[in-house]
Structure 1
Amino acid sequence: MAHEAPGGGTVKLSLPTLTALVVGSMVGAGVFSLPARFGQVTGVAGSLIAWVVAGAGMLMLALVFQTLAIRRPALDAGVYAYAKAGFGEYLGFFAAIGYWASACVGNVTYWVLIMSTVGVLAPALGDGDTILAVALSSVGLWAFFFLIKRGVKEATAINRIVTVAKLVPIIVFVILALFYLDPRVLADNWGGADYAGSLFSQVRGTMLITVFVFLGVEGASVYSRHARRREDVGRATVLGFLSVFAVFASVTIVSYGILPMAEIAELRQPSMAGVLEAAVGTWGKVFVSIGLIISVLGAYLAWTLMAAEVLFVAAKDHDMPRFLARADRNDVPVPAMVLTTALSQVVLVLTLFSADAFNFALDMTSVLSLIPFLLAAAYALRIAVVPTDGTRRGGEIIVAGLATLYIAFLLIAAGLEFTLLSLLLYAPATILFVMTRREQGRRVFSPAEAVVFAVVAAGAVVAVVTLATGAVTL
């Protein structure tokens, strides 16, 4: 499904560029918020266990995308395409909407964090959720829309450069934190004794932030239609994951050697800046803050590209309304880009009514991504157990089975509250599915699809009621 680029050629991406897309989409706002998010729920021991669990689980998911890229090379747009192939058009549509919505909500966390960072110098920006902060963030949203509209090739080239630039301050942070690390402080933070609950409950409390920081592991798969070689999709996925995993775990653990947990937990986001300030002084905070802005803008670019790509390919496959299948002469799916930017704009406005805009958007981003990931992992398990060539592959069964169990565990760990709130996006988005079926002159729902929609609609109603009664708050 490659498309013509100016001059008649097709837009093709190399292994380094695909890997940069994976790293660029994972290294964003999340890594800069890791110290405080972990410090609020657990100590060193819980963090080590959490990273082992999250690292193993997400590695299984990365291997799933690698396997699917090889076993099903004709499927483009990764998460969406795998869900559709495995479980039908409506659940495939859900995967596309869930992945797309998670990217849009995730993009909002980037702007909130940028404004919160600058808010240290400009109090009117607050924690990134004031009227002025939202107004400035809105300008940024649409400025990036016009940048990407210049062409996919140019945007991905910029992302590759930014990926290298933003890794530098993070690596410097880890090196400096290791140099200033106090073994006694690290030992005092070991057990997480300041927190109530078992070690299991502490580890469970870290799960949504680990999902958030690893979002983007599927980046090369989502953008697979532009790959120069199909096997590069899987290679880029694993290379990107392993690189980023080492960085994320290091950032978390070394922070426990700088400040007591209680102080880490109270740090203003981006908490990495506060940790480095405690170690080396004010220049460390400034250094990290500049790195954050570069990192977040690069991640925003990658996420916006991937989100629009999912809508575009779904429309080309006749699973979204026809207007989303249009691309301009630069190979940019402009209507999909407009819808992506518009949803981010809506969510950005909603942060004005949230008690904790950054953490709420972060957790919602994670939960929205879990359904698409679960469907992709389950599809990989299905084709491993019942392969089309009649050859069962034990290794692939184990990997896909573990990935499926891990994502299911994350849904349980997230809690019913966020799952219900996610249905507030899934239910109304079904309008796009209805539009698509009517354009094709087809029956809107099959009996099975009608049952799924009824369950989703009922859940959305429950979510509205719980919000109205105050049982759930933003």
Structure 2
Amino acid sequence: MSESSEKKFSLPILTAMVVGSMVGSGIFMLPRRFGEATGVAGALIAWVIAGTGMFMLARVVQTLAVRKPELDAGVYAYAKEGFGDYAGFLSALGYWAGTCIGNVSYFVLIMSTFGLIKYTLVGRTYVIVGDRYSLGGQLELFGAGDTVAAVVFSSIILWAVHFMVLRGVKQAAAINTIATVAKIIPIVLFLVFVAFGFKADLFTASFWGGQEASVASIYGQVRATMAVTLFVFLGVEGASVYSRYAKRREDVGAATIMGFLGVLCLMVLITLLSYGALARPDLAGMRQPSMAGVLEAVVGPWGALFISIGLIISVLGAFLSWTLLAAEVLWTAAKTKDMPTFFARENRNGAPAAALWLTNAMVQVFLIATLFSADALRLMVDLTGAMSLIPYLLMALFGLMLAWHGQSNGEAAAQQRGELVRAAVATVYTAFLIYALGMKFLLLSAIIYAPGTLLYIWARREQQRRIFSSSEWVVFLVATVGAAVGIYGLATGSIAI
């Protein structure tokens, strides 16, 4: 693939990759997810914790981009450099699988959004009709995004984008930049309208979340928000993954911080202003995308349609970003011989064709799996976060290890201590998220990690290298036991999906 500077990514494009990766379906789900979990006080605390933790993780990404410029695959490369080949493989596998599952959540939400809209031919007016999408009649198609029709239409979109990306990564990145700008506009307008319709009495009534103010109640409320706050921040490392395309290495860190801070402001405002538009029980009872319901309550039915259109643009753009991210990680892992070399193949347009085929095949499998879930959207959102936590934790630990050993290129000790603190906070935060999500998602993750290791074994045999070290055998056995327990739980119903 050509590396000429004119074909590389500038700072604005890298920043758009970060924003495009982060602003997807999650931001449109915030009012309901927070309304279900907590009140204003808990939301403020949750955003302080999540914002601080993810900001520190973003700063770790920024630091590593400078300290280790030779590592061109971000999350995956840092894990391998710090903890060995198998850890790097697991990081790549987890990040890739999480991105695939995240794309499934996008499709579920798109189809759920279609399920909210009814177009009446007579009079050419739009109205919101609960649980069905109709075109001049009462033809139920998409339900909550998890019907057979929803899966079929999602599959059509999936493979249409697949063949577009096969025409070239650079072309797809340009489309993503345009989509990023387009999807920010309805979000900003939502904030303007809801701010004008803000009701202080509703906001005050929801302050403690309908519970007696206590440390225990607030802790429980905050913990219940951790899965969704993790999900909406996924993609913060998007510029790092594309570092090999950057015109200037320092742009990677700058794009990460700029994109993160901008998106954080949007998410906090959406959450807090929603408490001033509707009572907390009403927020909790909304159908997703709940931003549509909030704006409808403020300006009328057209508001829900407006947000629904914005969501479709947003989510399609994020789907494109995450497809590129997933294929890039798989391609890079194959180039470094941690995945089978088959997945390093490129087509004549320079697109990672083999990696892209496996990526979208994985998405297709999980799309079909949504037909068997009681709450497909919540499951896919939470599982996406769970799959991303191991890669994030390993990256934070690698940053902590570098700072601890003083690899600061002769810079002041104060700056080195700052790097150590930031990496420590990022490590504690990601470890807390693993605890907050609970054992269920660890076991579900193991169901992917254990059999996925077959790809690692394939790659090692290609190279005629020893498969596992002693410590790596232990990790593999733990993952295998976790997978067995998870499968048993699914079979017996003790783990519900």
Q: TM-score normalised to the size of structure 2?
A: 0.93
Shift of the alpha carbon at 1:113?
Answer: 0.4
Match in the other structure for 2:210: 193
Shift of the alpha carbon at 1:82?
Answer: 0.1
1:4 corresponds to 2:2: yes
Match in the other structure for 1:436: 459
Question: Within 1, Cα distance between the matches of 2:158 and 2:238?
Answer: 21
Match in the other structure for 1:75: 71
Q: Pick from 8, 12, 19: which aligns with 2:15?
A: 19
- Alignment-mate amino acid for residue 149 of structure 1: L
Q: Pick from 164, 167, 190: which aligns with 1:173?
A: 190
- Alignment-mate amino acid for residue 58 of structure 2: A
Shift of the alpha carbon at 1:388?
Answer: 4.3
Shift of the alpha carbon at 1:194?
Answer: 4.9
Match in the other structure for 2:47: 51
Shift of the alpha carbon at 1:311?
Answer: 0.5
**Identity value in percent:** 56
Match in the other structure for 2:107: 111
1:9–1:377 Cα change, 3 Å? closer
Determine if contact 1:26/1:215 at 8 Å carries over to the other structure: yes
Determine if contact 1:4/1:10 at 8 Å carries over to the other structure: no
Q: Pick from 239, 242, 246: which aligns with 1:223?
A: 242
Question: Within 2, Cα distance between the matches of 1:428 and 1:76?
Answer: 27
Match in the other structure for 1:469: 492
Match in the other structure for 1:257: 276
Q: Pick from 151, 158, 161: which aligns with 1:141?
A: 158
Q: Pick from 305, 313, 324: which aligns with 2:343?
A: 324
Question: Within 2, Cα distance between the matches of 1:329 and 1:231?
Answer: 30
Alignment map for 1:305-324 (pairs within 5 Å): 305-324=324-343
* Higher alpha-carbon deviation: 196-205 or 274-283: 196-205
Determine if contact 1:109/1:361 at 8 Å carries over to the other structure: yes
* Higher alpha-carbon deviation: 106-115 or 385-394: 385-394
Match in the other structure for 1:291: 310
Q: TM-score normalised to the size of structure 1?
A: 0.97
Instruction: In structure 1, list runs of 5 or more residues that go unmatched.
Output: none
How much is the aligned-residue C-alpha RMSD, in angstroms? 1.3
1:432–1:98 Cα change, 3 Å? same
Determine if contact 2:67/2:408 at 8 Å carries over to the other structure: no
1:206 alignment partner, SS class: helix
Shift of the alpha carbon at 1:108?
Answer: 0.3
1:131–1:421 Cα change, 3 Å? same
- Alignment-mate amino acid for residue 354 of structure 1: S
Deviations 1:117-144 (A, max 9, x none): 0012323210000001001101111011
Deviations 1:79-137 (A, max 9, x none): 00000000000010000000000100000011100000001232321000000100110
Question: Within 1, Cα distance between the matches of 2:363 and 2:406?
Answer: 40
Aligned residues: 470
Instruction: In structure 2, list runs of 5 or more residues that go unmatched.
Output: 119-132, 134-139
Shift of the alpha carbon at 1:195?
Answer: 8.7
- Alignment-mate amino acid for residue 125 of structure 1: F
Match in the other structure for 1:447: 470
Determine if contact 1:54/1:210 at 8 Å carries over to the other structure: yes
Determine if contact 2:8/2:247 at 8 Å carries over to the other structure: yes
Shift of the alpha carbon at 1:387?
Answer: 3.2
Question: Within 2, Cα distance between the matches of 1:379 and 1:329?
Answer: 36
Question: Within 2, Cα distance between the matches of 1:363 and 1:389?
Answer: 36
Match in the other structure for 1:403: 426
Alignment map for 1:351-370 (pairs within 5 Å): 351-370=370-389
Alignment map for 1:340-359 (pairs within 5 Å): 340-359=359-378
Question: Within 2, Cα distance between the matches of 1:264 and 1:388?
Answer: 48
- Alignment-mate amino acid for residue 370 of structure 1: L
Shift of the alpha carbon at 1:470?
Answer: 1.0
Shift of the alpha carbon at 1:4?
Answer: 2.0
Question: Within 2, Cα distance between the matches of 1:242 and 1:314?
Answer: 30
2:473 alignment partner, SS class: helix
Deviations 1:23-46 (A, max 9, x none): 000000000000000000100110
Shift of the alpha carbon at 1:243?
Answer: 0.3
Question: Within 2, Cα distance between the matches of 1:195 and 1:252?
Answer: 21
Shift of the alpha carbon at 1:10?
Answer: 7.2
- Alignment-mate amino acid for residue 44 of structure 1: V
Determine if contact 1:42/1:195 at 8 Å carries over to the other structure: no
Determine if contact 2:41/2:208 at 8 Å carries over to the other structure: yes
Determine if contact 1:147/1:155 at 8 Å carries over to the other structure: yes
Runs in 1 of length 4+ with deviation above 2 angstroms?
8-11, 194-197, 387-392
Match in the other structure for 1:158: 175
Determine if contact 2:444/2:483 at 8 Å carries over to the other structure: yes
Match in the other structure for 1:132: 149
1:29 corresponds to 2:21: no
- Alignment-mate amino acid for residue 480 of structure 2: A
Question: Within 2, Cα distance between the matches of 1:217 and 1:389?
Answer: 24
Shift of the alpha carbon at 1:389?
Answer: 6.3
